Amino acid sequence: MDSGTRFLILSLEGESYAVSISRLLEITVPRDIQKEAGLTEAFEGKFEYRGKPIPVLNLKKVFKLRGNPGGVLLILKNSRGEMGMLVDAVVQIVETDKQPIPIPKGVMNPSLLPYYGGIIRHNDGLTLILKEEGLFT
Amino acid sequence: MKSGYLLFFLSGRVFGVKLMGAVEIVPWRRGRYVPLSYSYVEGLIDYRGDIYPVFNLRQRLGLGKQAPIGFAAGEEQMPPREQSIILLEEGRNPFGISIDTVAKMTSLEETAPAPEKTQGLDARFIKGLAYEDNKEIILLDFERLFFHGG
């Protein structure tokens, strides 16, 4: 099975989201995140990952959700390098041979669609796939 | 020529949906919230293998709970407040609209396009009007409401 069909399921304010395992480098605890003036408001600051400072995204700020930034830090990679993303919890890893279902038309402004990689069914519910390329642009 | 319509109530007004094959009506349920979606998107629901975005029609049309004075049915004629979701399709896009309650199915003859303002609604969103027992029934343009760039 391709690694692209394995997802890490995470939770954010009680809803489930997924990131592709192929993009995940590490799951860790957010510690010593340094504020940095040059980052936009959606970023909590920078985290030192293997000797290199990487930006840490507060996903709740991006999604306009309430609550604290989250107690789990995911280290992800995309075409620009490594970056951190704060979430509430990681739930499990799932494998699926189904193609993600596109976000239906009419749900959001098309300019925001790159934030999502589609939808998968998981535990009798719908899980939104997060697309790190879009989120960190 | 007459066509089949499903009539429903929303904020004291009567709306009609043209019946194009099967129409599903399900009890209102909370959909899967999608961050950054349009404000009138309640969420996504998974129904019989298809995923439907559910649109809050009241919010999209900018309606309060009651119709403006002069347009509303009397309180005694109002159905009990009860939310349902009608599942429809527009141009191969499945979607749902949350409504107060379903009225009935009937045959109607569509009339001329709506005037600029009909019962306080923006005419861009109205496909036409129909009448039954002297009651005005609003026929909505779902393509414009939900799939025309938001």
DSSP string, B24-39: EEEE----B--TT--T
β partners of residue B131: B136
Q: Measured between beta carbons, which residues in chain B are less than 8 angstroms from residue A105? A: 93, 147
Is the pLDDT at B73 greater than 80? The verdict is no
- The complex's ipTM? 0.91
Q: Cα–Cα distance between B30 and B45 in angstroms, integer?
A: 8
List the one residue out of A19, A16, A56 whose CA is nearest residue A8.
Answer: A19
Q: Measured between beta carbons, which residues in chain B are less than 8 angstroms from residue A125? A: 32, 46
Is the pLDDT at B68 greater than 50? The verdict is no
Q: Cα–Cα distance between A99 and A84 in angstroms, integer?
A: 26
Alpha-carbon gap: B73 to the closest alpha carbon of chain A (Å)? 32
Contacts of A132 (CB under 8 A, 6+ apart): A19, A23, A76, A77, A78, A83, A85
CA-based nearest residue in chain B for residue A115: B36
Per-residue pLDDT of chain A (137 residues; tens, 9 = 90+): 444 489 999 999 999 999 999 999 999 999 999 998 888 999 999 999 999 999 999 999 999 999 999 999 999 999 889 999 999 999 999 999 999 999 999 999 999 999 999 999 999 899 999 998 888 87
Is the pLDDT at B67 greater than 60? The verdict is no
CA-based nearest residue in chain B for residue A127: B32
Contact A77, A34 (CB under 8 A): no
Q: Dump pLDDT digits (tens) for B101-146.
A: 899 999 998 776 777 777 878 888 998 899 888 889 999 999 999 9
Residue A65 to residue B35, Cβ atoms within 8 A: yes
β partners of residue B64: none
Q: Measured between beta carbons, which residues in chain A are less than 8 angstroms from residue B36? A: 62-64, 108-109, 112, 115
Q: Measured between beta carbons, which residues in chain A are less than 8 angstroms from residue B32? A: 15, 125-126, 128
Is the pLDDT at B76 greater than 80? The verdict is no
Report field, pTM of the whole predicted structure over 0.90: no
